[in-house]
Amino acid sequence: MRTISKEDRLLLARHERAVRLSIDAVEAASEARLSIETPCAGWDLRALLEHMGTQNRGFAAAARGANDPAVWVVHHAVDPIGDYVRSAHEVVEAFAAGEAETLFLPEIPPGHFPAATALGFHLIDSVVHAWDVARSVGHVIDLDSDLAPTALRIAEAVPTGTARLRPGAAFGPALEVADTTATLARILGILGRSPEWLPSRA
């Protein structure tokens, strides 16, 4: 088990709030059709939820010290909402246990990262996907004044360049955003999401 510093505990608390944000967004979408459009091009709500649940389980396994790429393979979920919520609690518990110093994340080159870095990856994923789900069903999310600057700092550290143009890239090319823009909108733009996105009504 790794030693968890005061700084690590602060990040863990912010991470838990980010995951809670995603749980709230997913539960609020429980009455929506799973076939509705999302901000993730080519993914309906079912595909997005199955991806999100898989990512949670992958990060949870990595936080427990696993080195198994098979954990990251997306499978069909009979109950995508419930599956996501269960996976979200699992990943929070796994990070809080602090078992691994270094996490194996096969989808992110070079693959191995310090626990705090991996925790930051999952935190920003949780924030952005919470917005994806909420936006799909016409809801909003709010970042508290403690979580918002942490999420922005992590978003600003995400590499740009040609990697974002690859098929399956986690984030698209950054969009231009003003420093005066609201923090959540800045985060979304930095990570290639348009804060103005709306589902088509065709």
Give 176's DSSP letter: P
| Mean pLDDT taken over the chain | 92
As given in the structure block, the two tokens for residue 4 are: 């968890």
Lowest mean pLDDT among 69-83, 116-130, 171-185: 171-185
Instruction: Taking residues 184-192, report their average pLDDT.
Output: 94
pTM of the entire predicted model: 0.93
3-class SS of residue 32? coil
Please give the pLDDT value at position 160: 79
Question: What band does 202 get if pLDDT is binned at 50, 70 and 90?
Answer: very low
Kindly report, residue by residue over 98-113, the tens digit of the pLDDT. Answer: 999 999 999 888 899 9
Lowest mean pLDDT among 14-23, 42-51, 159-168, 174-183: 159-168
Helix (H), strand (E) at residue 104: strand 102-104
Closest by alpha carbon to 136, among 56, 55, 25? 25
Instruction: Determine the Cα–Cα distance for residues 90 and 59; give it in Å rounded to an integer.
Output: 9
Kindly report, residue by residue over 11-68, the tens digit of the pLDDT. Answer: 999 999 999 999 999 999 999 999 999 999 889 999 999 999 999 999 999 999 999 9
Helix (H), strand (E) at residue 112: strand 112-114
Please give the domain boundaries of the chain with CATH numbers for all domains: 6-143 (1.20.120.450)
Tally: H helices and E strands in the chain: 6, 2
Instruction: Determine the Cα–Cα distance for residues 163 and 154; give it in Å rounded to an integer.
Output: 17
Please give the pLDDT value at position 165: 65
